Structure 1
Amino acid sequence: MKTCLFIIDMQNDFCRPYSNLYIPDAEIDAGRIARLIAGCAKDIDGIILAQDIHQVMNITHTVFWTDLGGRHPKPGTPIKAEEVEKGEWIPFTEKERVLNYLRHFEKETKEFHVVWLEHCIVGSEGAAVVSRVMREVRAWAARGHFIHIVEKGAYPFAEQYGAFRAEVIVEDAPSTWFNLPLLQELNTMIVFGWQEKPVPIVWRLRFGNYWIFLRLCRKL
């Protein structure tokens, strides 16, 4: 049986104390992941790095939205389809596309879309994998392996917490579709390492084809 290390959101914007979406003790977790790779490199057959990659103007960012007074919402604010219909929150562009997304999000997740501070902006230092982790990943790759990169969140009109698909699948945005090749690659022994709040990681294992995920989890 092959062993794959699946590292999720181990990026500077989640792991640095002064960053926009810092998670307490994330830098300690990063050290643990780095030591795991260094100590078990010969036993690891594959490493997958799932990374948030966003535009500045992303539906998940506060700057994407304004109220009637031109003010941006506070981080953690839920944005409801009903509020957008009434003009209480105004997206900077493509209102109908945004409304369609919000309606589907609320129907499929039974939750409301939440906005955050800008984070993991494409090409930025904040989007980079924590250096001590990346150093060990590179050393592992130099033993004769390829690093598998999975980018999520590049489509600016949908939230994507998980690596497998966006919270709402958008027909004309392939990056939001279910990533079946990734699931097939993980038909092996998996070690998860992630850096984000607990709720999204539960969603990662829950959405999509529910039966497949349950079967996959029993192999851990």
Structure 2
Amino acid sequence: MSLPIPRFHEDARAGQLYLERAADVAKEARLYAEANRIRPAREDKVRIAAFGIDVQVAFCTPGASLFVPGAVEDTQRTLRWLYANLGRVTELVFSLDTHRVFQIFHPSWWQDAGGQPPPPLTVITADDIRQGRWRPTRHPEESLAYCERLETSGKYVLTVWPFHALLGGLSHSLVPAMYEASLFHALVRDTPTWFELKGEHPLTENYSVLSPEVTEVRGQKVGEFNTRLFDHLMSFDRVYVFGQAKSHCVLSTLRDLRQHIERTDRSKMGRVVILEDAMSPVPAPPLDPLPAALDFPRVADEAVREFQQAGMRVARTTDPLDV
């Protein structure tokens, strides 16, 4: 049976910036738990995690530098799903893309022959660096080595993103409506929210919550697989995945989940449920011809089909919980 939407929640606020109403949320949580006879999460016999990937202002709020079209509607659907199933969702797990000004994918890291930074969405290849079309403003040898390693992986080439999710800035925060939901869930179910930061190392992109794009550059360790988080997620009977962007951080995280499950215990693949109407892809750049690797909506849809063929489940927020 679906639970009622809390009185403080309004769909229209899903894409808005405002201060979280912690006192109001906490007051309603106490009354809500009692009125609906909701038991603490520790008593759940079937344990369900709701895994939100980068549901942050940077990606989900109109006007933010990396706003993903469709993200507001995704957030609205996710919140309705979460509130309806609050009594059965055991824990909320959120990743937070976490960056600083000087990182290899930000404009401050690069300049052309005239000393100008690249515009957002510029693609920089290892050959561009060798030819001097783009020059690193710091760590030149490591920057070239990184691009070489990234291209060898076959997943992405280096993309220069606008400044986003900067630690200490508003764009780093969870969307306020989602943060209120996390607070409400924590108080109603008497369990803390799990927050996982990613993306702080200056010498690698970190689309996946579980691992950076490159783990070693010229003998320097720049990251590793997050075994602690993986083991925690796999301790649940179901892991519902949502967030932004479908073509990048969600896709990369699901790819890491799939690969590590295949290496460890294939029987756990069916625990992962992709909420397909709670995520959107980055739009393809306006290039003609458009390289296949940059057709982000197509890449995302194909990846989801592959994950489903591998044994992951695909659902919509309007579907009953798959347990």
What TM-score, normalized to structure 2? 0.64
Partner of 1:193: 242
Q: Does 1:179 align with 2:226?
A: yes
Q: Does 1:88 align with 2:137?
A: no
Deviates more, 1:101-110 or 1:127-136: 101-110
SS of 1:151 mapped into structure 2: strand
Q: Partner of 2:85 in structure 1? A: 40
| Inter-partner Cα distance in structure 2 for 1:151 and 1:213 | 25
SS of 1:41 mapped into structure 2: coil
Residue in structure 1 matched with residue 271 of structure 2 by the alignment: 219
Q: Equivalent residue of 1:74, what SS?
A: coil
- Which consecutive segments of 4 or more residues in structure 1 shift more than 6 A? none
Report the equivalent of 2:199.
153
Q: Which residue of 2 aligns with 1:23?
A: 68
- Rounded Cα–Cα distance in structure 2 between residues aligned with 1:37 and 1:218: 20
Counterparts of 2:240 and 2:48 in 1: how far apart (Å)? Answer: 7
Q: Which position in structure 1 is the counterpart of 2:104?
A: 59
Q: Which has the higher contact order (CA 8 A, sep 6+)?
A: 1
Bigger-Rg structure (1/2): 2
The range that moved more, 199-208 or 84-93, is 199-208
Q: Distance in 2 between matches of 1:85 and 1:204?
A: 31
User: How far is 1:35 from its partner?
Assistant: 2.3
**Contact in 1 for aligned 2:242/2:250 (Cα 8 Å):** no
Unpaired runs of 5+ in structure 1? none
* Equivalent position of 2:162 in the other structure: 117
CA distance in 1, matches of 2:80, 2:168: 27
- Asked if 2 retains the 8 angstrom alpha-carbon contact of 1:206 and 1:213, the reply is no
Q: Deviations over 1:140-168 (max 9, x none)?
A: 11231121111111111100101000011
1:162 corresponds to which of 194, 202, 208: 208
| Offset, 1:202 | 2.5
TM-score, length-normalised on structure 1? 0.91
Of all paired residues, the percent bearing the same amino acid is 26
- Corresponding residue SS for 2:196: strand
Segment drifting more, 190-199 vs 133-142:
190-199
Amino acid at match of 2:165: C
Deviation of 1:213 after TM superposition, in Å, equals 5.1
Q: CA deviation at 1:110?
A: 4.9
Per-residue deviation, residues 79-115 of structure 1 (Å, max 9, x unmatched)? 1112212322111111111122111111113531111
CA contact (8 A) 1:3 1:44 kept: yes
Note if 1:12 corresponds to 2:57.
Answer: yes
| Partner amino acid, structure 1, of 2:159 | V
Rounded to whole Å, the distance in 1 between the matches of 2:147 and 2:215 is: 12
**Count of residue pairs brought into register by the alignment:** 219
